[in-house]
Amino acid sequence: MKLWILRPKETMPEGQGSPWEPWDDKAFGFVVRAETESDARKLANADGGDECGPVRNKYYRTGGDPWLNPEFSTCEELHPEGEAGVVMQHFRAA
């Protein structure tokens, strides 16, 4: 198995609102064990928050599955090589 790190992209496709706005009740990152990127994306999307799924009101982006879509999220394999450092920190203050 491989380890994958998934995160929202910094910029969204032109004309698309961000699935992560507003930021409450949303997942902003995953580290997933899976054989393929596709499998990793499916696992993350299945465990997502309100960033996934149908429109809830006029302020949410129109539906979709942002963890499955490379236009909205990144999915990179984690390798043991590299410099020492934090791989992922997810912090939001309210």
Predicted confidence at residue 24, as pLDDT, reads 80
> What does pTM read for this prediction?
0.81
CA 62, CA 55: separation in Å to the nearest integer? Answer: 5
Tokens standing for 49?
A: 């928050």
Containing 32, the helix (H) or strand (E) segment is: strand 30-34
pLDDT category of residue 59 using cuts at 50, 70 and 90: low
Of 3-7, 21-25, 58-62, 69-73, the range with the lowest mean pLDDT is: 58-62
pLDDT category of residue 89 using cuts at 50, 70 and 90: confident
pLDDT in tens, 21-51: 888 888 899 999 999 999 999 999 999 888 8
pLDDT category of residue 74 using cuts at 50, 70 and 90: very high
Contacts of 13 (CB under 8 A, 6+ apart): 71, 72
**Nearest alpha-carbon partner for 34 in 5, 9, 7:** 5
The mean predicted confidence, pLDDT, of the chain is 85
CA 34, CA 77: separation in Å to the nearest integer? Answer: 10
